[in-house]
Amino acid sequence: MPTRRSLLAPQLVCLLSCLLASGLSEVAAQQSNPTRNYSLKTVEATPIPRQAHFALWKDVALGACTDAKSRFNLEQNECVSVISRRADMCIAKYEAQTPALITTRAESRSIGRNFMYCATPYYFCNGVEVKTEAEVLARCR
């Protein structure tokens, strides 16, 4: 005759595995979208971990691609490609000198300024990125 404990064991296993699965899916969701709980505007109220901070600034940079033709003389998909590629390089460049937790707007803006300068393209003329006035005069005719 089965005991009460043996009858409840499969239900407990199912309940525990469901709880574990929902917890793991929450962790996976946070990892796939590290910016979900953070905002650059509320950094002082809710400090931002380094990786989430870079992800937020990457989103800002990618937002510049909505008018990529006038800003950079690029199609939107080209702009997204350039910024995505550069963003990873810029994160690697600035990661070591960025604190693990960003706690002030001034700190956030300083890091963001460097990141944006690094990740955002200059203007393109005839398929070539131009950074100086001399390059503009030479390429943009």
Q: Find the domain containing 14 and state its range.
A: 1-32
What is the pLDDT, as a whole number, of residue 89?
Answer: 95
Instruction: Summarize pLDDT for 38-83 with one digit per residue, the tens.
Output: 999 999 999 999 999 999 999 999 999 999 999 999 999 999 999 9
Residue 54 shares a structural domain with residue 111: yes
Residue 46 shares a structural domain with residue 114: yes
Its pTM surpasses 0.85: no
Residue 55 shares a structural domain with residue 106: yes
- The number of folded domains in the chain is 2
Residue 13 shares a structural domain with residue 76: no
Residue 16 shares a structural domain with residue 40: no
For residue 36, what pLDDT band results from cuts at 50, 70 and 90? confident
What is the pLDDT, as a whole number, of residue 140?
Answer: 87
Region 11-33 average pLDDT: 44
The pair of three-digit structure tokens given for residue 28, joined into one six-digit string: 């996976």
Residue 26 shares a structural domain with residue 43: no
Per the model's pLDDT, the better-predicted residue between 63 and 9 turns out to be 63
What is the pLDDT, as a whole number, of residue 122?
Answer: 93
The C-alpha atoms of residue 121 and residue 115 are separated, in whole angstroms, by 12
Region 118-125 average pLDDT: 94
With a cut of 50, say whether residue 16 has pLDDT above it.
Answer: no
What is the pLDDT, as a whole number, of residue 33?
Answer: 62
With a cut of 60, say whether residue 12 has pLDDT above it.
Answer: no
φ and ψ at residue 56, rounded to 5 degrees: -65, -45
Residue 42 shares a structural domain with residue 28: no
Residue 76 shares a structural domain with residue 115: yes
Residue 39 shares a structural domain with residue 99: yes
Residue 40 shares a structural domain with residue 60: yes
Planar angle of CA 58, 85, 95, nearest 5 degrees: 55
Residue 43 shares a structural domain with residue 79: yes
Q: Which residues contact 8 (CB under 8 A, 6 or more apart)?
A: none
Residue 59 shares a structural domain with residue 106: yes
